[in-house]
Amino acid sequence: MGLFRKSEKGTGSAGDTYVIAGLGNPGKEYEKTRHNMGFRSIDVLSSDEGIDVSKSKFHALIGRGRIAGKKVILVKPQTYMNRSGQAVREAAMYFDVPPQNLIVVYDDIDLPAGSIRIRKSGGAGTHNGMKSVVDQLGTKDFVRVRIGVGGAENGEDLVDRVIGKVPKDEQKILDEAAAEAAAAVKDIISIGVDNAMNRHNHVS
């Protein structure tokens, strides 16, 4: 697809602009589910940095601001999870960001609940939202912040696991994870992805 070809060296203003997309499902019924950890992290960044994420564009809600002196665009796709890639692709193309300046935040059932893992590239695994992102971008080479939500246990249905009701004690763990993921995004921008990985990747 050649999505990043024009700015792959990070030249010009695009190299100073970051697109940060948090994956989730729109609607009140999904707000506090495990599958909406990407949205929750964007909400933390929005609150921390005073960035209003309410403008409708790119099939998403977006907000523009600055983090660590860099221009950022916060993105919450409104297409529902399985078509998240459409919004991510449109935003990345519009702002012509290099791949290292696209950060996608999402939940991961393969990581323990509350853990964080930053990666520079990689596959989508079993996550349908990430499958859509990779398919739409035509590349796996972009930064992602994975938030562990734990896998299904004791015969629990996987769909119920990711979009079902979360116990109150676990909500606290997920709130803390959303905050750490937001901190990880800030570190990626301010000190670089390698240093951010050293700081936040605690899962073997």
Q: Which pLDDT does position 162 carry in this prediction? A: 84
Confidence of residue 199 (pLDDT cuts 50, 70, 90): very high
Phi, psi dihedrals of residue 103, rounded to the nearest 5°: -120, 125
What single-letter amino acid sits at 123?
A: G
Q: Which pLDDT does position 89 carry in this prediction? A: 96
Alpha helices in the chain (DSSP H): 37-49, 84-95, 128-137, 158-163, 168-191, 193-200
Question: If you average pLDDT over residues 68-91, what whole number do you get?
Answer: 96
Strands 55-57 and 60-67: antiparallel
d(CA 117, CA 164): 23
d(CA 111, CA 139): 23
Q: Which pLDDT does position 11 carry in this prediction? A: 41
Confidence of residue 9 (pLDDT cuts 50, 70, 90): very low
Q: Which residue has better confidence, 12 or 200?
A: 200
DSSP secondary structure of 60-116: EEEEEEEETTEEEEEEEE-S-GGGHHHHHHHHHHHHT--GGGEEEEEEETTS-TT-E
Give catalytic status of residue 59 as yes or no: no
Structure tokens at 160: 């119920």
Provide the 10 A C-beta neighbour count for residue 119: 15
Question: If you average pLDDT over residues 139-144, what whole number do you get?
Answer: 95
Q: Catalytic: which of 35, 127, 200, 202?
A: 35
Q: Which pLDDT does position 10 carry in this prediction? A: 39
Q: Which pLDDT does position 14 carry in this prediction? A: 59
Confidence of residue 2 (pLDDT cuts 50, 70, 90): very low
Provide the whole-model pTM: 0.91
Report the share of the chain in percent with pLDDT over 70.
92
Q: Check whether 181 has a pLDDT greater than 60.
A: yes
CATH class of 13-200: alpha beta
Q: Check whether 86 has a pLDDT greater than 90.
A: yes
Confidence of residue 4 (pLDDT cuts 50, 70, 90): low
Phi-psi region for residue 141, left (φ > 0), alpha (ψ -120 to 50) or beta? beta
Question: If you average pLDDT over residues 86-99, what whole number do you get?
Answer: 94
